[in-house]
Amino acid sequence: MSATFTTSVATIGSRDAISFTSNLNNCSILNSAFNRYSPELMFRDLQVEPVDGYPLFAGIEIVLPSGIENQCGEYPHLASEIERDTYERYELNVEQQSSSAVTAKIQAWTVWGALRGLETFSQLVWQNGTSNNFFINISQIVDSPRYPHRGFMIDTARHYVDIPVIETVLEAMAYTKLNVLHWHIVDDQSFPFVSKTFPELSAKGAYLPELTYEPEEVQGVINYARDRGIRVILEFDTPGHTHVYRKSYPELLTPCYGDGVNPGTPNFTTHAAYEILDPTKEFTYSFMEQLFAEIKNVSKDEFIHLGMDECFCLISTACVLTAIFYVYAKVYYSCWQSSPEIKAFMEQNNYTEYSQVQEHYTLRHLDMVKSLGAKALIWHDPLEFGVNLDKDIVLQVWKKEACGDWTSYFQHALDEGYQVILSSPWYLNYIAYGETWKDYYESDPVLSLPYNSKKRLTHINSCNSHFLVVTEDQQKLILGGEACVWAEYADPTNLVQRIFPYIGAIAERLWSPISTLDESRTDDAMHRLDQHRCRLLWRGIPAQPIFNGYCFPQEKSIRKSSKK
């Protein structure tokens, strides 16, 4: 939802009436966008006829500052605090030049802002009923996002996702003004990334040889995203979620002593035969340094996601509550407790707690990645278990208490002074009957906390046993949020429908100016989300419905063409 706007209407005279010009010549990003916003996208196969008595629309101009030509060859990045006011900001004026002509101008400060303005422009075009008459709203819009990180996490390890499906997701993300694809590319289940340094990882770890991603294919996805103003952050999770490494490099994992005598024996009440990466071996660290050097070269983003979740949990009340809510929790300290090698390692380093072993690996791994010239984004688990992290680490908060409250985890990260990304309330892989998008829309990184720094809010989570306060300085630490789909029950047959249009509720929450959480605003959002669902369907994205009804007469034929 734009920050400010006014409106009236003009008529579109023909399919070719929407033409583009820019003062930035030969910009591949803009030229690609001009090709995407084609007559086929806007009007499908309909003939467009003008309506008498209305001014004709006569084209759109993109105006950017001089001296930013280099952006046309760059990749988007996380906007710094100084950049945030302008990085994706745009001003869109659809204005009447005479009694018979209307033109549009997008003023932006970066090519990424121009892309957001083009999408808004496309959403101003509408069809009059079932006719061939299309109009555009005469508007003045000034717009910029509330948060610089508005993302979606895709999981391609539990089920392989074909690249054309990933590209469909990216296309729909651009239509929804999301700007980060967090690619959880490998996990316990499979290792589809083809490492040139360690080719056996995918040769033995992928489901099938053809269900893999070559580095060139990953970079192709990154470039596809770049053309749409979307960053791609690759996640290679360690030290947990690494069981797949054992298929090719078993020496990387910690052998457990389930029978108390022999290495590599399970105790299935608490641990398997082998668990997370072995932090006692130098080989572990040298292997990871070589692998992540390759990952750094493939990636174009300044950040690499290092995971670090679900691997440091003693059998405790907190773990049990987490296990109840999430169905399972990985309890890895029990393997370390069984291992004489771990005990000897602790004695050598004067460690008295297993959490110190965790910290040993975490800090070495973070320092290594930093030495490669990358920045680290991790799940927030190490903070919860006492690891002393540098403040330049960005934390992604994903946990909830057993009762569903996530605010204590989020507030804890803010209280400790870390930049944060919120995901806890936005797991789209949880399926429930009804209008679950409302829960997504009514979750806010600031307003969902029981108190903010200015006033008491009426929305107070009864699960919290204490009052929380988020200060103005802490609000600056909030970078945004990400919706997630963990793919135990999602693959290319249902992934796109699982994401869209529900993620639009989250996208609006992260883009639009802060607003109160109440039913009337949610009801208003329902109409916008339903309209966006129809827009996605019109553009060939198989988005699921949010309620009863239909979109337009061509809906049946579009569904058929989407299946081809």
Q: Closest Cα to residue 509, out of 144, 102, 145, 205?
A: 145
d(CA 105, CA 118): 10
Q: Are 92 and 115 in contact (CB under 8 A)?
A: no
Output phi, psi for 96, to 5 deg.
-85, 120
Q: Answer for the pair 159, 206: CB distance below 8 angstroms, yes or no.
A: no
The separation between CA 545 and the C-alpha centre of its own chain, rounded to angstroms, equals 22
Burial string for 90-120 (b: 16+ CB within 10 Å, else e) reads bbbebeeeeeeebbbbbbbbbbbbbbbbbbb
Rounded to 5°, angle at Cα 311 from 307 and 312: 120
Q: Does the active-site annotation cover 310?
A: yes
Catalytic residue among 310, 401, 442, 508: 310
Quote the CA–CA distance of 212 and 73 in Å, as a whole number: 28
Terminal CA-CA length for the chain? 33
The number of beta carbons lying within 10 Å of the beta carbon of residue 508 is: 21
Q: What is the DSSP letter of 338?
A: H
- Name the token pair of 283: 């080989």
d(CA 246, CA 253) in angstroms, rounded, equals 7
The C-alpha atoms of residue 122 and residue 146 are separated, in whole angstroms, by 21
Distance of alpha carbon 126 from alpha carbon 538, whole angstroms: 11
**Burial level of 530, CB count in 10 A (0-12/13-18/19+)?**
middle
Local structure of 228: helix, strand or coil: coil
Per DSSP, the three-state class of 114 is helix
**Rounded Cα–Cα distance for residues 286 and 306 (Å):** 16
Cα–chain-centroid distance for residue 524?
A: 25
Rounded-to-integer distance, Cα 239 and Cα 205, Å: 17
Catalytic residue ranges: 310
